[in-house]
Amino acid sequence: MPINLMKRFEYVATIAAVIAILGIAVLPSAATAAQTREQCYDCCKGQGHDEYYLEQCRLKCFRNNDHCLEQQKRQPAAEVMPPSSQPQPAPARPAPERQVAEKEPPAAPQFRWPNPLNLVPGKEWEAAGQILAVNGVSPQHPQYPAALKAVEQVLVQFARANPSGGRLPTAQLERILRLLR
């Protein structure tokens, strides 16, 4: 019987040692983190994201304490040119050419209709999803369900008021999209 107790003790001691080693290696304490939570939150705020992406950045900080430090390492540092003993020649200027007035590109329309717009009675929610997708509102947007419902309601009201067709409610949909941005 003492042999069985020795084997059990060895077995339990081995398992305890493995668990302890894994615990030390896999679960580093927050005290050894390279930056504090406040430093990472300040870093996330400094990136200028909206609430949704700010929360995503904070979650990344929660999972990886070096999240903001890794991003700062990736940003290229400004290169400082060493002073040289020889004077630098002046940059050569190209011969003056006829100035062409620069035209500003036309502003992209704020609202676009999907082509083709499949507005079928009873399936206005599909058209609403297409309208939001074409105008750059992804399903991951925090206000997407409310926007989908608002666009769907506009389309339903339009279909009821104009059963044979008519001018589409672009202005109403533009207002909804402006609220999302």
What is the per-residue pLDDT across 30-84, written as a single tens digit (0 to 9) for each?
444 566 777 777 888 877 777 787 888 888 877 777 767 666 655 554 444 555 5
pLDDT tops 60 at residue 108? no
Among the candidates 45, 73, 101, a domain finishes at: 73
In a domain, 112, yes or no: no
At residue 40, the pLDDT reads 77
Segment 153-178 shows an average pLDDT of 85
Closest by alpha carbon to 63, among 81, 86, 40?
A: 40
Phi first, then psi: give them for residue 62, nearest 5 degrees: -65, -40
171 within some domain: yes
26 belongs to a structural domain = no
Task: Flag whether 91 is in a domain.
Answer: no
Is 55 within a domain?
A: yes
- 152 falls within a domain: yes
In a domain, 100, yes or no: no
pLDDT at 152: 92
Number of compact structural domains in the chain:
2
* Domain with 148 in it: 124-180
